[in-house]
Amino acid sequence: MSETSSIYGRHLPEMESVMNSILNSIGVLRRRMAEKTDSDPIDHCLARIKTDESMRAKCRLHNLPETEESALNEIHDAIGIRIVCAFVSDVYTILNYLKSLPDISVVTEKDYIRHAKPNGYRSYHMIVRFKEKYYVEIQLRTISMDTWAALEHQLKYKKTVSGNEDLITSELKRCADELASTDVSMQTIRDMIYEEREN
């Protein structure tokens, strides 16, 4: 599909530049924190621009015209970044850093870590605007939250689950609670290690 026929019009190169700019800023923080603590706060970071086909499908889902205006201003996740950390405290450190960047203004944020969804889903969601022009969806979570979300996604979007759906859903909720407890325990252990180092 040619660039001019894209739902993003001629904005795609600039959108890629925005995505890379935020990733570069995250890279700066990773290096600073690694120098300070001898460990990288981020396990992995994924970024994408929603495909033309996927964006058009989302426009249809929300009864919006399949236009550049809809894709860039009505729907706010054309650019998406997921940041996966080892520890909960790193999630909030990176979150606060992103909020402090001069080119970023927060539009909405939802803390599903401190206030999990009923099914057990945990993550921090934020919609930001870069230079008051492009919307970016940013998700921050721990490794265990990311693993759980991948499994829950299979249950929600794959049509292979039949009679055991209720059991699987309840087991997923139980696992989510256990993983959240483990995240807290791991954080406590790391804090104790850092405290020992400082003493």
Report the run of H or E that residue 83 belongs to, with start and end.
Answer: strand 79-85
Distance CA(117)–CA(103), nearest Å, equals 30
Give yes or no for a contact between 142 and 86, defined as CB atoms under 8 angstroms apart: yes
Determine whether 187 is exposed, middle or buried from the number of CB atoms within 10 Å of its CB (0-12, 13-18, 19+).
middle
Q: How many degrees, rounded to 5, is the angle at CA 151 between CA 24 and CA 184?
A: 70
CA dihedral 191, 192, 196, 197 (to 10 degrees): -30
Task: Give residue limits of the domains in the chain.
Answer: 3-147
- 25-41 pLDDT, tens digit each: 999 999 998 888 788 89
Q: Give the Cα separation of 112 and 120 in Å (integer).
A: 9
CATH level 3 topology of 3-147: Beta Polymerase; domain 2 (3.30.460)
> What pTM does this model have?
0.88
Q: How many CB atoms lie within 10 A of CB 179?
A: 18
H or E element: which one contains 143? Answer: helix 143-157
Q: Would residue 137 show up in a list of annotated catalytic residues for this protein? A: yes
pLDDT tens figures, 95-117: 999 999 999 999 999 999 999 99
Q: Which regions in the chain score pLDDT beneath 70? A: 1-4, 157-163
Catalytic residue selected from 137, 152, 165, 195: 137
